[in-house]
Structure formats: structure tokens, C-alpha cells
Amino acid sequence: MIDAIVEAIRLAVTRIPDDVVSALREAYEREDNDVARFNLGNILRAIEIGRTESIPVCQDTGTLTFFVEAGVESPFLGEVKDWLVEATRKATTEIPLRPNAVDVLTGENSGDNTGKDVPVIHWELVPGDAIRIAVLPKGGGSENCSALAMLTPGEGWEGVKRFVVERIKACGGKPCPPVVLGIGVGGGADYSLLLAKKALLRRVGERNPDERIAEIEGELLEEINALGVGPMGMGGKTTALDVKIEVTHRHPASFPVGLIVQCWANRRAFVRIKPDGRVEVWQ
């Protein structure tokens, strides 16, 4: 089981998902600016090297975050956390990953990507007897641009757009654009950010099933790409590859907007553990 999770982590850090690669290729074809093409060309070459040599595409293999949909009838509920921690340790030396877990007070690096509540595990109990784990390795440069806005309800969706566009403009090249944005609206401060991060697991190009939300995703993507920030903040047509919005009901007085900024390396992989112990790994 631990080996299957290590395999998923390896897949996530060494292979950029096909939907993301297609979006990057299209961005490369669209650009006529030499500097933007230098950066997008390097990105496409780095992806190819990661895939063929099975090495991490980006040296920032991130903080490992796992989203677990835990079937309440699975016989393995009590063991999953230990497996995830052990797999993180093993992946760090085997793949290898960069050790990124640091004590908040002393700054000391644990050396194996584990520590207090690290790797981060988000749990959701679901009906059934299977466990589905999503692996999301996320770098620090892009995470530093993430933000929360507590808008007034009067500012509404126009306020959401303004907040996101201004934030991306201010961040410039820092989060490694072209970025993918996860946005969570509603649910309180905490839940909006969690929804925003989980939204990054959706495929690039896949719209929210609610047409009204899908429309806002498209409008925001267009506005952000009109900024001209471009790949690595040095100008160009593509600043974002996609925008993912998830919504939930809100308190009538609140309008929370969680924004999670993801770099172009929108990495992910999945594991499913069946009740008989069989495991599937995919991307």
C-alpha cells in the first residue's frame, strides 16, 4: 500500500498531467514574444526531461497535501494516515523529493518532509467501502501568492473578480505564471480556502458544471490574460492557464473568497484502495 502511494507521489512530481501540457503547448503556439517563448520553451523541455528520466520537473516538490475521500465501510480507515506519512518519508529518499518541512520556531528541517501535521491530510467521510486519495504537491512560491478576501455581500461577484485580478497583477512573476487559480467562494474563511485548493484537482479546461459559475471562470481567465503579466512575469499573452471556482452557501453577512494560486506545474495524482486491498494509481 505504501509503495502504491509512493508511486502516486512519483507520478505527480515527475509527470505533468496531459491536460496541463496541452494548455502549455497552446500557450507556446500563441506567443510571438521572444522572452515568453524562451520561458515556455524551457517549460516544455523540462516536462519532457522529467517524464523520460523520471526526475522531479520542479525542484520545489512542495508540501505534500493529500485529500482523502474515506469510505466509511473501508477496513483500512485506521491505517491510512500512517501509510501516508510513511510513503512521504520513503518518497523523499527514493524519488527523491526535496525535504521541505521546517520547524516554525527553530527553522530546523526535519529532513524527510514530515513533521507536525505534515504531510497535510484533509479528510472527507463518504459512503462506501473504497478510499480515494488525491496527491497535490504544491510549491511555496505560488502558495505565497494565495490570499483570502472577506468581501461585503454588496461587493459580490464584481468584488471577487477585482480581488483576484488585482492580486495576480501584484504577484507578477513570483508564482511562476502561467498559473492555475483555485477559487472558493462562501462557506466561511476556512472553508473557502480549502475549496479553492481542492479545485486545483480538476483538469485544466474542465469548467464548473454550474453554467453560471462556468461563465465567471471564463470571464476571469480572459481578464487575467489581458493583464499581460505573461510567463514568469516578463510579458506575454498567457498569464493563467485556467481558473477553477467552487462555491458553497455563505452567511448572509459574509462573502469569503479563498484564492489559491498554483504555478504552471499543476501536479496531481490519485490512488484508490479497494476493500480487498487492491490498489489503483492514476493521474
Positions that interact with another protein (CB under 8 A): 34-35, 38-39, 42-43, 45-46, 49-50, 53, 55-61, 96-100, 102, 107-109, 111, 139-141, 144, 172-176, 227-235, 263-265
- Please, what is the minimum distance in Å from the beta carbon of residue 235 to another protein? 6
User: What whole-number distance in Å separates Cα of residue 171 and Cα of residue 144?
Assistant: 9
User: What whole-number distance in Å separates Cα of residue 27 and Cα of residue 121?
Assistant: 33
Give the residue with the Cβ less far from another protein, 45 or 251: 45
- Please, what is the minimum distance in Å from the beta carbon of residue 78 to another protein? 33
Give the residue with the Cβ less far from another protein, 141 or 159: 141
Q: Please, are residues 16 and 266 in contact by the beta-carbon 8 Å criterion?
A: yes
- Locate 33 and state its grid cell: 514574444
Give the residue with the Cβ less far from another protein, 39 or 208: 39
Residue 172 φ/ψ region, left for φ over 0, alpha for ψ in the -120 to 50 degree band, beta for the rest: left
Give the residue with the Cβ less far from another protein, 57 or 200: 57
Q: Cell numbers 496541463 label which residue?
A: 20
- Please, what is the minimum distance in Å from the beta carbon of residue 40 to another protein? 8
Q: Please, are residues 200 and 193 in contact by the beta-carbon 8 Å criterion?
A: no
- Locate 16 and state its grid cell: 505533468
Count of residues in the chain: 283
- Please, what is the minimum distance in Å from the beta carbon of residue 200 to another protein? 15
